[in-house]
Amino acid sequence: MLSEELVKDITVKNDKKIVLLVMDGVGGLPGKKGLTELETARTPNMDKLASSSALGLNHPISPGITPGSGPAHLSLFGYDPIKHQIGRGILEALGIGLELTPDDLPARANFATKDKNNVITDRRAGRIPTEKNIELCKKLSEKIKTLDGIEVIIRSGKEHRFVVVFRGKGLYGPLHDADPQKEGLKIKYAQAFNPDGEKSARVVNTFIDQVNEVLKNDHPANTCLMRGIDKVPPVPSMNELFKITPAAIATYPMYKGLSRLVGMKVLDAGDTIQTEINALKKNWSKFDFFYFHIKKTDSYGEDGNFENKVKIIEETDKIIPDILGLKPDVLVITGDHSTPSVLASHSWHPNPFLLKSKYVRIGESKRFTEKECLKGSLGHFYSIDAMSLMLSNALKMTKFGA
Amino acid sequence: MLSEELVKDITVKNDKKIVLLVMDGVGGLPGKKGLTELETARTPNMDKLASSSALGLNHPISPGITPGSGPAHLSLFGYDPIKHQIGRGILEALGIGLELTPDDLPARANFATKDKNNVITDRRAGRIPTEKNIELCKKLSEKIKTLDGIEVIIRSGKEHRFVVVFRGKGLYGPLHDADPQKEGLKIKYAQAFNPDGEKSARVVNTFIDQVNEVLKNDHPANTCLMRGIDKVPPVPSMNELFKITPAAIATYPMYKGLSRLVGMKVLDAGDTIQTEINALKKNWSKFDFFYFHIKKTDSYGEDGNFENKVKIIEETDKIIPDILGLKPDVLVITGDHSTPSVLASHSWHPNPFLLKSKYVRIGESKRFTEKECLKGSLGHFYSIDAMSLMLSNALKMTKFGA
């Protein structure tokens, strides 16, 4: 991939349309019967595409590195995931549906338990129920609205987890975590990395003091830990870099949030694959790049639920004719990272990748599976190059150099 | 590829000989009959080589990026094409056969039309005939010989295009273009990026003023625009980096010029494939690295002329026995970039690559085609690594590290 500055110089606007269909975590490993999830699934539509497309395998970061969803998606979107690292606090905030602005300093927080000597005795406050979490966040929101002119936004997550966004001018990140990391140690305040962050550390630490005061009678949730405290990084928009008008079709908040971060318009897409495909059809004329996200391949992979991951792949296969019916100039089908059911977690294995366009070389792949992608014309490559491949196949890139 | 500094440390001189045969733009896409140009051509000699050589596919820059001829060749020659970016003016000057020195600041220029308010009304002066261009360049050359102690060299190109080389001490580049980019805007002068370039900008702008004066009665060609104004970059020679004595066999000025830029001796090679092979034979004993360039595969590709591109591939195949008869230690056959006839332009697809030497692993390729290269032992790689592969196969590289 060329640097953002060089890419910007060679992208051109035209009216050709690209669909990037991401089946989250789709790549797998052989299950009990020796076949992967993709090999097990009946996918006649993708298989048909395979024999007339360019196939290959892409590494989100580099071989052997397991990515989180943030870097895995950023690289598919054409951004260097090392250069653009996104704090956990930001991802958590995006994940619960908060819209972030450049003035925001988000943090992920835990309700925790401290004793009377300010020693942390439980970093998760006994995993209090989500209902209790909601009640406590409501109480905190009523008592703590601004600190030193900075607006404080508090949102519940699940069990002991919540998110705090500090919003206002003059905030800097990242800060060192306000978390002793281990139980049996004293509470720890946030610390600035350099003088620019001192005001932010002061605000965060005043917040912690006030939480301790407001919750003093709420044992076991009588304090909080704060981590991943960082500003939203200034990411150039996809429109600026690639001269496309991108839209995101996703059902989960974090993916919508990530899409917004790179300047996509997030469409109202409901919460099923069927409502997503309806959103694609309805908005087809208005955009020239569609990121279409299927979440549940990953969710079932994370659960170790091989059979249900297979079912979601089969369900996704059924919408391929609908997508092709819209006549996209470029269609890519891939994952952001692999989530093999046998590992029940993200993994380091590269993503199966299929690119359909008028201008591809065709290899010898007969299906859309990990093994058949090895026979494709694209070989192994890095996810960050996927965007150049999509843009070039849509004739949206000119020559580098004369 | 290691950095130039590290490569220099591990290259060694010996008397083994390398031939790098570049069929410009040879990689293609399927035509009407579903086969690429290479798949269509009868190439018994290359096919025979394929089953005893290492094959693969190389990316000039990175997957999805279409290169110009400059960066595509530089990377094959072992130079980082991002680090060594070559201005348009330089390539145009090389392209019309000018030999450039480190003191030169070349620019590509257009004859253009301005009205009496100095507004550009036609950026190409109605595409004046080349004969008129020659006449105007002669007139300018007679009137403008030096400016502020700087020699001015003016050479005609085709239609409205010409080249100006400013030659003398103290010139810096690049400069911002002296071109409003759009018609309907006032003439624009060149601008320095920083104080180092101010003298150069002054010289270029004085030149423009004098052109306006000399051509004031030559409507429509009554002014000029100047672009790609940059110095020849200081490129270390191939001899310095790789300890080889390289020669270039090429028929087109730009490729000769690029070869000269990296320190090759440009041989008198006539203008046909036959005169080129004669030059190779005649000079065989004097050099240990031969860059052998076939231009017309690219020219016909650019014209969208599938059949003639096939013919040039077949013609090239016929000289393979002549090359092998000289017993090179390493023979590489590849392209600089792909130029599929169906696109009628350079493209982003990787180059088919074949390396014959005593020390290769052999894959399962049976022919020299895009698809068969996928089955080769080299896989996908970056063009910049081709030079290390050639040098190592000629035992011209020692170990990196102990």
Domains, in order of start, for chain A: 4-83+235-393 (3.40.720.10), 90-227 (no CATH)
pLDDT at position B91: 86
User: Touching check for A274 and chain B: CB below 8 Å?
Assistant: no
Of all residues in chain A, the one with the smallest CA distance to B65 is A388
Residues of B in contact with A398 (CB under 8 A): 66
Residues of B in contact with A363 (CB under 8 A): 371, 374
Of all residues in chain A, the one with the smallest CA distance to B88 is A402
User: Touching check for A400 and chain B: CB below 8 Å?
Assistant: yes
pLDDT at position B181: 87
Q: Answer whether A362 sits within 8 Å of B30, measured CB to CB.
A: yes
Q: Answer whether A400 sits within 8 Å of B30, measured CB to CB.
A: no
**pLDDT (tens digit per residue) in A113-161:** 999 999 999 999 999 999 999 999 999 999 999 999 999 999 998 899 9
User: Touching check for A12 and chain B: CB below 8 Å?
Assistant: no
Q: Answer whether B348 sits within 8 Å of A390, measured CB to CB.
A: no
Chosen from B62, B181, B229, B255 to mutate, greatest number of chain A CBs within 10 A: B62
User: Touching check for B36 and chain A: CB below 8 Å?
Assistant: yes
Q: Answer whether B64 sits within 8 Å of A378, measured CB to CB.
A: no
User: Touching check for B57 and chain A: CB below 8 Å?
Assistant: yes
Of all residues in chain B, the one with the smallest CA distance to A78 is B64
Of all residues in chain B, the one with the smallest CA distance to A401 is B68
Structure tokens at B249: 């066999």
Separation between Cα atoms, residue A287 and residue A265, nearest integer Å = 9
Of all residues in chain A, the one with the smallest CA distance to B81 is A401
**Is-contact B87 B226, C-beta < 8 A?**
no
pLDDT at position A94: 87
Structure tokens at B336: 């600089």
Q: Answer whether B36 sits within 8 Å of A389, measured CB to CB.
A: no
User: Touching check for B30 and chain A: CB below 8 Å?
Assistant: yes
A402 closest CA partner among B87, B28, B105: B87
pLDDT at position A199: 95
Task: Give the minimum alpha-carbon distance from B372 to chain A in angstroms, rounded to a whole number.
Answer: 9
β-strand A223-227 against A104-114: which pairing, if any? antiparallel
Taking each helix axis as running N to C, give the angle between helix B69-76 and helix B253-261, from 0 to 180 degrees, rounded to the nearest 10.
50
Task: Write the ipTM.
Answer: 0.90
Q: Answer whether A381 sits within 8 Å of B380, measured CB to CB.
A: yes
User: Touching check for A169 and chain B: CB below 8 Å?
Assistant: no
Pick from A380, A388, A399: which is nearest to B380 by CB? A380
User: Touching check for A232 and chain B: CB below 8 Å?
Assistant: no
The dihedral region occupied by A7, where left means phi > 0, alpha psi between -120 and 50, and beta the remainder, is: alpha
Q: Answer whether A377 sits within 8 Å of B374, measured CB to CB.
A: yes
* A-to-B residue pairs, Cβ atoms closer than 8 angstroms: 93
Residues of A in contact with B379 (CB under 8 A): 379-380
Q: Answer whether B65 sits within 8 Å of A388, measured CB to CB.
A: yes
Task: Give the minimum alpha-carbon distance from B122 to chain A in angstroms, rounded to a whole number.
Answer: 23
Quick check: helix, strand or coil at residue A259? helix
Chosen from B69, B82, B343, B348 to mutate, greatest number of chain A CBs within 10 A: B348
Q: Answer whether A361 sits within 8 Å of B371, measured CB to CB.
A: yes
Taking each helix axis as running N to C, give the angle between helix B88-95 and helix B253-261, from 0 to 180 degrees, rounded to the nearest 10.
120
Task: Give the minimum alpha-carbon distance from A284 to chain B in angstroms, rounded to a whole number.
Answer: 25
Q: Answer whether A392 sits within 8 Å of B64, measured CB to CB.
A: yes
pLDDT at position A92: 85
pLDDT, average across residues A179-187: 95
Contact map slice: B 313-372 vs A, CB within 8 A = 340, 342-343, 346-349, 370-371
**pLDDT at residue A97 tops 90:** no
Separation between Cα atoms, residue A55 and residue A384, nearest integer Å = 16
**pLDDT at residue A99 tops 90:** no
Q: Answer whether A401 sits within 8 Å of B57, measured CB to CB.
A: no
Q: Answer whether A389 sits within 8 Å of B29, measured CB to CB.
A: no
Pick from A10, A361, A363: which is nearest to B29 by CB? A361
Residues of B in contact with A390 (CB under 8 A): 64
pLDDT at position A232: 86
Of all residues in chain A, the one with the smallest CA distance to B350 is A378
User: Touching check for B96 and chain A: CB below 8 Å?
Assistant: no
Query: H-helix or E-strand containing B9?
Result: helix B4-10
User: Touching check for A390 and chain B: CB below 8 Å?
Assistant: yes
Asked if the bond preceding A180 is cis, omega within 30° of 0, the reply is no
Residues of A in contact with B88 (CB under 8 A): 402
Pick from A361, A363, A388: which is nearest to B63 by CB? A388
State the sign of the Cα–Cα–Cα–Cα dihedral A220, A223, A227, A231.
Answer: positive
Structure tokens at B372: 């068969």
**Is-contact A4 A314, C-beta < 8 A?**
no
pLDDT < 50: residue spans in chain B: none
β-strand B289-294 against A379-382: which pairing, if any? unpaired
Task: Give the minimum alpha-carbon distance from B29 to chain A in angstroms, rounded to a whole number.
Answer: 6
The overall average pLDDT reported for chain A is 96
User: Touching check for A380 and chain B: CB below 8 Å?
Assistant: yes
Residues of A in contact with B66 (CB under 8 A): 392, 397-400
Q: Answer whether A400 sits within 8 Å of B36, measured CB to CB.
A: no
User: Touching check for B181 and chain A: CB below 8 Å?
Assistant: no
| DSSP codes joined into one string, A200-257 | HHHHHHHHHHHHHHHTTTSTTS-EEEEE---PPP-PPPHHHHH---EEEE-SSHHHHH
Per-residue confidence band for A393, with pLDDT thresholds at 50, 70 and 90: very high
Contacts of A48 (CB under 8 A, 6+ apart): none
User: Touching check for A378 and chain B: CB below 8 Å?
Assistant: yes
Of all residues in chain A, the one with the smallest CA distance to B344 is A359
Taking each helix axis as running N to C, give the angle between helix A198-214 and helix A130-143, from 0 to 180 degrees, rounded to the nearest 10.
110
pLDDT at position B372: 98
Contacts of A307 (CB under 8 A, 6+ apart): none
Q: Rounded to 5 degrees, what are φ and ψ at B132? A: -65, -40
pLDDT at position B253: 87
Q: Answer whether A385 sits within 8 Å of B63, measured CB to CB.
A: yes
Residues of B in contact with A364 (CB under 8 A): 371, 374
pLDDT at position B402: 87
Q: Answer whether A402 sits within 8 Å of B91, measured CB to CB.
A: yes
Instruction: Tell me the percentage of chain A whose pLDDT exceeds 90.
Output: 93
Pick from B67, B86, B342: which is nearest to A399 by CB? B67
Reported pTM? 0.90
Chosen from B364, B373, B374, B384 to mutate, greatest number of chain A CBs within 10 A: B374
Quick check: helix, strand or coil at residue A298? helix
Contacts of B349 (CB under 8 A, 6+ apart): A361, B27, B28, B29, B338, B340, B370
Q: CA angle, corner B344, sides to B62 and B58, nearest 5? A: 25
